[in-house]
Chains A and B, each alone.
Chain A
Amino acid sequence: MFGLNKKDAGLLIVVAILALAAPFILNPFPEGSAMAQFNAGYPDLMQRLVIFGIFAIGFNILFGLTGYLSFGHAAFLGVGSYAAIWMMKLLTMNVIPAIVVSIIIAGLFSLLVGFISLRRSGIYFSILTLAFAQMSYALAYSVLTPITGGETGLQPKYTDPRVLDKALEAGQQPRANLFGLEMNQGFQLEMGNWVFTFNAGYYIAAVVMLVAFYLSIRIFRSPFGMMLRAVKSNQQRMNYTGLNSKPYTLAAFVISGMYAGLAGGLLVAMDTQVGAERMFWTASGEVVLMTILGGAGTLIGPVLGAGFIKYMENIVSKINKSVLEQWFAFMPDGIEDVLVAIIYPFVGKGWHLTLGLLFMLVVIFLPGGLVEGGQRIGKMFRRRDANANSIEADAAEQRKPAAE
């Protein structure tokens, strides 16, 4: 299917089903129940899940394949966002030009940054990308205020020229749309006590994510993708095999920059505003966390990592003291207090503490991320199966060489 082998096509289909059915899957708790606050099936969060998925998929093409650890990718996301918002201010509130231009501008910017940064490797490369991103952030905050809106950021206003759209009346809020379909349109489906929200913006973002994911599978399976892994594995051999590693890494850098730009453009399409903090280095760190947590160098890892972090961020940061007390109410008072006291620092505002610990644990024990964890668990079960059928397995093993 689509030029993919069975396994990859299966993966794509699973991701597609998960993405399209997300409004159901993320809303497992009936409305009004105590657990309803942990439902994640509302548009704003679902949009973020898939958009940061795109960001991480792109980052993985650079870091996962070539091993070049960029600490400045948020800059491309930010530049993409600014480009998109300017398209909305000047041209039209239709999201297509905004997204296309955000990809192009982020691509050009990453070409410039990559061309310079890739003259060094290892930690020097990381520092160079970090330096570029911090410079972009600082400039966006200060000197470039006419373009970026400085501290207040940018939003489309009814006074903007918007040459392709009809003029808006005073005070009317411009809304992002796709040929008239507004991003915040949608409908709610009530089934018994459950309420599911279907949102146009989310589905547009999800489809874009699926296309982005599909392209990344193609890149992984292409000769180009193999060359990128060769860069990570042994640059010396690569040079002595007549291959110029520079354009390969630069191409990977620009592709990942364009993915970041796409994510930035989509963020603006869904929520028409942008501020410089989007480019701060913690945002760059976040995409690194997502990719590593999910599993760098794997296809599905970054999507899982982005989904996991954004979902947990939302869920865990909502747990407060009274929720904890409610959970442990069935226990004797003393134990309840102790448990609440132990868990409380890790939830609510302490979400970043949990995230940091989780990230450390993954790097220490599971360098391959959640994907490796899944594989290990899978292997454990398979080994059990293999033990159960050990006689047959042994026999098969013995037949093998003869057959070949």
Chain B
Amino acid sequence: MAILEVKNVGKRFGGLQALGDVNLNVAENSCHAIIGPNGAGKSTLLNCLVGKLIPDTGSVMFDGHSVLGRKPYEINQMGISRVFQTPEIFGDLTVMENMLIPCFAKRDGAFRMHAIESIKHETDIIGKAEGMLEEMKLIEKRHMTASSMSRGDKRRLEIAMCLAQEPRLLLLDEPTAGMARADTNNTIDLLKQIKEERDITIAIIEHDMHVVFSLADRITVLAQGTPLVEDTPDKIKGHPKVREAYLGETQDAA
């Protein structure tokens, strides 16, 4: 059963056909990786899924409902959370406040005018946020200003914020880009753990083959805006077309 169905999606920027005719099904509770060389249209595809871009053609269905024409926050409230390439967190706020915000968003929806109540009295929400920080090993840093943390911690906080919303689908945009090997491995372990412990579907865009092959159940290879192959990691590894179009470049990149 596919939770995310992308049908015939196309997107053009002026003279550039960024996405040709993309068809993609992400099965529920799987981890689906989308790989491809630079400029293959991975980020464009992702932006079409979360409402940042509206595709020119085709349809995107999430859990049987179309996401097209909806605003990013509406799509998020449907159950799609996104992790950015550079961690997007509330830098001026404390780690704990960063964690509280998605918890409120989950409970109260896109807007609620709770202007007189004190946060202190929201014991359920505080408990949930602390639990999440505990799980992510960030609890000791809860009074820190988020922007002062290391990049690895910021990444973990961002993932924790997304998980606090209990999304059905977690989208990750190159989550290990620019990370040292040790941080990358930590992130892989974290994602593995999330996959095992939670009822969640993960879609990941990634350059690093090590990350892709350690996590993915299925892989779609995108080249020049169209899917080239879609298969299990084992079969992708040996696929001649993939080697030709893509793997040669990643070996250089790695």
Contact = CB atoms under 8 A, between A and B. Distances in A.
**A–B contact via C-beta, under 8 angstroms:** yes
Q: Is the interface of A mostly helix, strand, loop or mixed?
A: helix
Given A222-B115, A222-B119, A226-B100, A242 B110 contact: yes
B90 A239 contact: no
B119 A230 contact: no
Contacts of B97: 226, 229-230
A240 B51 CA distance: 10
Contacts of B73: 238-244
A247 interface: yes
Given A237-B89, A241-B102, A247 B111 contact: yes
Contact of A239 (B76, B89, B91): B76
Contacts of A138: none
Contacts of B89: 234, 237
Nearest to B107: A223
A213 to B, nearest CB: 14
A232 B147 CA distance: 14
A317 B215 CA distance: 72
5 contacts: A223-B104, A234-B90, A238-B101, A239-B76, A243-B73
A232 B100 CA distance: 16
Interface string B14-30: 00000000000000000
B119 A229 contact: no
Size class of B's contact patch? 35 or more
B193 interface: no
A248 B108 CA distance: 13
Nearest to A217: B118
A208 interface: no
A224 B71 CA distance: 21
A221 B121 CA distance: 11
Contact of B110 (A215, A222, A232, A243): A243
B254 interface: no
B201 to A, nearest CB: 17
Contacts of A238: 73, 90, 101
Given A221-B120, A227-B104, A242 B165 contact: yes
A318 interface: no
Interface of B: 50, 71-73, 76-77, 81-82, 84, 88-93, 97, 100-102, 104-106, 108-120, 122, 140, 161, 165
Nearest to A229: B93
A185 interface: no
A222 B116 CA distance: 6
Given A221-B120, A222-B117, A240 B82 contact: yes
Contacts, number: 110
Contacts of A227: 101, 104
Contacts of A247: 110-111
A325 B113 CA distance: 58
Interface of A: 3-5, 215, 218-219, 221-227, 229-230, 232-234, 236-244, 247-248, 251, 255, 404
A233 B92 CA distance: 6
A241 B114 contact: no
Nearest to B78: A242
Nearest to B111: A247
Contacts of A234: 88-91
Given A218-B116, A224-B112, A242-B102, 18 more contacts: A3-B118, A222-B114, A224-B115, A229-B90, A233-B92, A237-B89, A237-B90, A239-B76, A240-B72, A240-B73, A240-B81, A241-B76, A241-B101, A242-B109, A243-B105, A244-B111, A247-B110, A255-B115
A243 B75 CA distance: 10
Contacts of B90: 229-230, 233-234, 237-238
A223 B117 contact: yes
Contact of A244 (B91, B110, B140): B110
A388 B128 CA distance: 42
A238 B91 CA distance: 12
Contacts of B114: 222-224
B76 A240 contact: yes
B115 A219 contact: yes
Nearest to A252: B115
Contacts of B93: 226, 229-230, 233
B105 A242 contact: yes
